Chain A
Amino acid sequence: MLKISRIAGVIALLLFSNAQYQGWSLFTGDGSSGSRSPSSRGYHK
């Protein structure tokens, strides 16, 4: 159990670090995945 706990803790830290780097947040939506847009990106002439 201790081994699993350590591995899970390391993975959690890695995920946490990535989430912070990417700027993810529970309370902020992702603008790139707007539901009403047919595509998230396009080009403006």
Chain B
Amino acid sequence: MKKAQCPSCGAPVKFQSAASVYSICAFCRSTLLYDGRALKNLGRMAELIDDPSPIQISTKGRVDKKRFSVIGRIQLQYDAGLWNEWHLLLAGARSAWLSEASGEYVFSERASVVEAIPDFDALSPGMHLKFAEIDFQVANLVTARCVAGQGELPFKVDAGYDTKTADLRSAEGHFATIDYSETPPLVFLGRPVHFDDLHLTNLKSTAALQYASDGSEIKVESFNCPHCAAPLKIHSLQIQSITCGGCGSLIGVENKKMSLLVEAARGLRVRPRIKLGTRGSLEGVEWEVIGFLRRRIYSEGMPYFWDEYLLFNGKEGFTWLTEYDGHWNFARTLSSFPLVKPGDNTILYDKRGFRLFSSGVVETTYVVGEFYWVARAGDTCQLDEYVSPPSMLSRESMEDEITWTRAEYLEGDTVASAFKLKSLPKASGVYANQPNPWKERLGQTFAHFLAFILLGSVIQLGFLFFIPQKKFFQQDLTIPMSENAAMPNSSYNVTKEFTLPRHTQSLTLKHSLNIADNNWVEVATALVDKETGEIRRGVQDLASYKGERAPEGRRVNSIRFADIPPGRYYMVVNYDAGFELGAPSQPAIVDRVEIERRSVAWSNFVLLVIFLALSPIYAWLRHSSFEATRWEESDVGDDDEDDDDDDDDIWDDD
């Protein structure tokens, strides 16, 4: 560490970082340059703008395992407000930066890149660049003006100098900034960090109140509308504009000063379903509704409107609640950008596939309340929505900026309960990212189907194993035939005896006959229990017509006898046989008679499968019907359709 005295006022000046060559005296605000031998006074630095940042010089913190100390700051201003670049001192006297803008913190370090850096004017939002083997997309192109510097800095800062920067984001959460204030441009690589993950200590004492955990301790600034004197509130000094709910005037907010931007621009008055100022708890966080937008998009010539509510929590920052036709979504702006290539209708993000659902130009038609940018009625942007129910990714593309938000579907009852509302209109139709109620049921019914089929298979195999096929009797009987077609042949045969050793639940009697073309035989069989004399009868008709000959010229027919006790049996078989006029004569017909215990029928198993499949088939049809209704609302179409790709406009720079 180097110590010296300010040449202007004599106050002590420290240089903690080896990279610091400039320092702004904390007492007289002289800009001091250390040239290796002495301090030179380059002039007085402009005053910083009072801002809500909790960080100050000497704040300490930690990112991952890197401890840092805040030793300097550059305050910049752009059309969306102020942001700070905090100069950090890491272990080993290395430098890093902590960017603070709109409640987002980004930790980055200067990087040497081998890739060529495009000119600022050649960049456009959404453009793909690669640094350090990481795919980035241009998120934001900013021309900012330096307001002032503070503490130790590695380069000279002049108040009022313009600097151009390009912010880039990757799908994995990396962040890059290209600073065009020097030649060649400087590249900084890093990542967004949540405020809690910075583990900051020695913060500004006034900031502690604003960053209380539940938001209820927020110090709210109150003032009156400069046009109609209606009372208004500012919940955070990050707020850049307020639209008065009384007269519709758009009021700009800068450094706690209000300026009337648009006077009494009230045409259509819209009543939000959730009033501004209402508090509610979602995802364990207490939110307050501070802003309301109504937006419009045209699809096939028809306008569609939806509402967006800006929610605020002092610690968590800003988030959104959107509503369309009773369908609600809870949305947050993303720090990491999904990787989307031109013409892609599906994107992979967070290990899920998202499919393009709608694309078009959106216009804000009504604004009331507080916003962290100057929100005006009439603002337009290109909106592309990708869905993977219950999530939705929305990309809003403007001239110099792209933002991504991720929304999660909420039931209306959840919103009503969270904000203690009496009731909300019921949802109508199917929304883009509304969860399919049949998805889970389909999975469960299919699981049941598989389980029952498995059980059925076990039962079937059990029967096959424990009740195998067994033949008890076989005999060939001959049926003599006359040549007189007018007289059917009748004959009577008694078979040999056979034994059934044990009770048989089902016994199959099979007759196999070699019937010539256009002959027929009616077989009547009596199964006789020799001991008891009990008879079981069966009648079968067998025939063979031209063109239907069975293999090997035999006709086969089986019948079943049930519940047969053990014992000695024989059969009495009566045949009535005949043939058509002109049919070839057949001197005799041979009938192979068989008695067997068949293995269990597979036809029953097939019937079981068909019956069990009805439930998952029904669930699948309902699931498909729900999805068809969802995609009817899409203005993009099916996977097989090629889009015209109006999206191409955002990729084509000129």
Contact = CB atoms under 8 A, between A and B. Distances in A.
B540 interface: yes
Contacts of A20: 459-460, 463, 600-601, 604
Contacts of B533: 43-45
Classify chain A's interface size. Answer: 20 to 34
B526 interface: yes
A34 B505 contact: no
Contacts of A35: 539
Interface residues of B, number: 49
Contacts of B589: none
Interface in B512-544: 524-528, 532-540
A9 B536 contact: no
A25 B459 contact: no
Nearest to A30: B560
Contacts of A21: 463, 505
B528 A44 contact: yes
Interface of A: 1-2, 5-6, 8-9, 12-13, 16-17, 19-32, 34-37, 40-45
B601 A32 contact: no
A19 B445 CA distance: 24
Contacts of B526: 44
Contact of B538 (A12, A23, A34): A34
21 contacts: A5-B448, A8-B611, A13-B452, A13-B459, A16-B605, A17-B459, A20-B459, A25-B560, A25-B598, A26-B607, A27-B558, A28-B559, A28-B598, A32-B537, A35-B539, A36-B524, A37-B537, A41-B537, A43-B534, A44-B533, A45-B533
Contacts of B505: 21-23
B556 to A, nearest CB: 11
A28 B459 contact: no
Given A1-B441, A20-B459, A25-B604, 9 more contacts: A8-B615, A13-B459, A16-B459, A20-B601, A23-B506, A23-B600, A25-B598, A41-B536, A44-B535
Contact of B539 (A27, A36, A43, A45): A36
Contacts of A25: 560, 598, 601, 603-604
B452 A30 contact: no
B608 A16 contact: yes
Contacts of B463: 20-21
Given A29-B558, A34-B539, A35-B539, A9 B601 contact: no
Contacts of B604: 16, 19-20, 24-26
A26 B535 CA distance: 24
Nearest to A34: B539
Interface string B349-378: 000000000000000000000000000000
